[in-house]
């Protein structure tokens, strides 16, 4: 018996969670080219592709024009995106938006603006990702490319705009639960793979890449340390906000307790005189006005950023020690010879 549309919609299975982001090699090259051309300025672009089950396929992308803080320029940027989508549709290229990409400087991407952009995309696209590319880290010999999405629990909390300590404990949400990193899989068509095989030389490579043995990491380490110190200062300022809040809260509670004791003493006197007692709470009194607790979102993002800088410093320091030990072994071998 044929089922109605409502019956099919009611029995439709929940979409599987996103497991992997499959990006074509040409898309990665476009992203790298765009980000490096404008580095150290930050740029963004659109990701196009298909959402297939637990795999998000990214098959094409195009850059956004560099914009300034101007309404007319922002309107021109929106028209540019629509025109690009129309042109791609006319030439029969995938034009379904699956997210966006953006460049970053030393991994400093965890901001409120990124979360707001995610929420705006989520209004129209059920599943979207942001590809983050860091040209400065890639110069150290690592392809700094990652795919991020907001966790479902964080998005639910963000919609309610309630980042108090009580709500975070209730949801069991910590600073590591804001973003989810999705594994990236690079894929190429059969024709491109065959062409790359033809390009491979038959003879082994004889040239040595001495750049990998470069011992100087001072500029990269210095910038990371500078950003880390700035984040520590920002975190200290956030802690001062909470300390100020708890001081005011303690002062208010002491005032409430003193007022309550005074009111109870008055009520005892009024009862003894046969008069009606006053209520023990007075909403019109300023001391009973609740003090708003500061949001913990900013401190969570700063903590995330500090963790990111520490991991980068740890990785670069480990690689530097490996190079030093290798150079020491080569030097000792050369002396023995």
Which residues, including other chains, have CB under 8 Å from residue 2's CB and lie 6 or more apart? none
- According to the model, what pLDDT value does residue 31 have? 92
- Strand 20-24 relative to strand 184-187, pairing: parallel
Residue 47 in 3-state DSSP? Answer: strand
Concatenated DSSP letters of 111-168:
SHHHHHHHHHHHHH-SS-EEEEE-HHHHTTTS--EEEEEE-HHHHHHHHHT---HHHH
Predicted pLDDT of residue 166: 80
Which is nearest to 135 in space by CA: 40, 29, 25? 40
What pLDDT does residue 183 have?
A: 92
- DSSP class of residue 172 equals T
- The dihedral built from the CA positions of residue 120, 124, 126 and 127, taken in this order, carries a sign that is negative
pLDDT in tens, the chain (337 residues): 444 544 444 444 566 788 899 998 889 999 999 988 888 888 899 999 888 888 898 988 888 887 655 555 555 666 777 788 788 777 777 778 888 999 988 878 888 888 888 888 887 887 889 999 988 888 777 788 899 988 888 888 888 887 887 888 887 888 888 888 899 998 887 787 787 777 766 555 555 555 556 666 667 788 888 888 998 998 899 889 889 988 988 888 888 888 888 888 888 888 888 778 777 777 777 777 888 888 888 888 888 888 888 888 887 777 777 777 777 787 777 776 6
DSSP, res 240: H
Question: Does CATH number 3.40.140.10 belong to domain 15-212?
Answer: yes
Of the candidates 129, 140, 269, the residue with the CA atom closest to the CA atom of residue 217 = 140
- Give the up-direction half-sphere exposure of residue 15: CA atoms within 13 A in the CB hemisphere: 11
């Amino acid at each position: 018996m044929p089922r109605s549309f409502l019956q099919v919609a009611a029995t439709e299975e929940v979409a599987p969670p996103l497991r992997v982001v499959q990006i074509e090699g040409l898309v990665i090259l476009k992203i790298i080219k765009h980000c490096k051309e404008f580095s150290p300025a930050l740029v963004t672009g659109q990701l196009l592709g298909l959402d297939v089950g637990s795999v998000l396929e990214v098959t094409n992308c195009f850059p956004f024009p560099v914009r300034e803080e101007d309404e007319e320029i922002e309107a021109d940027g929106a028209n540019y995106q629509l025109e690009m989508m129309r042109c791609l549709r006319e030439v029969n290229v995938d034009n379904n938006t699956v997210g966006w990409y953006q460049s970053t400087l030393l991994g400093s991407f965890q901001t409120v603006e990124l979360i707001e952009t995610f929420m705006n995309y989520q209004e129209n696209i059920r599943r979207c990702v942001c590809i983050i590319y860091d040209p400065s880290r890639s110069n150290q010999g690592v392809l700094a490319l990652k795919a991020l999405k907001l966790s479902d629990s964080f998005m639910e909390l963000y919609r309610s705009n309630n980042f108090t300590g009580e709500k975070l404990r209730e949801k069991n949400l910590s600073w590591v639960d804001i973003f989810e990193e999705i594994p990236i899989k690079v894929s190429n068509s059969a024709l491109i793979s065959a062409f790359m095989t033809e390009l491979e030389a038959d003879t082994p490579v004889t040239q040595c890449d001495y750049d990998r043995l470069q011992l100087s990491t001072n500029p990269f380490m210095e910038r990371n340390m500078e950003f880390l110190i700035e984040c520590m200062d920002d975190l200290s300022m956030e802690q001062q906000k909470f300390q100020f809040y708890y001081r005011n809260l303690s002062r208010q509670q002491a005032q409430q307790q003193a007022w309550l004791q005074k009111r109870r003493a008055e009520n005892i006197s009024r009862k003894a005189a046969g008069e009606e007692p006053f209520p023990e709470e007075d909403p019109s009194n300023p001391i009973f006005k609740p003090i708003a607790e500061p949001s913990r979102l900013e401190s969570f993002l700063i903590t995330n950023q500090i963790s990111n800088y520490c991991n980068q410093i740890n990785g670069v320091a480990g690689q530097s020690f490996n190079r030093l030990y290798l150079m020491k072994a080569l030097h000792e071998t050369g002396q023995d010879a």
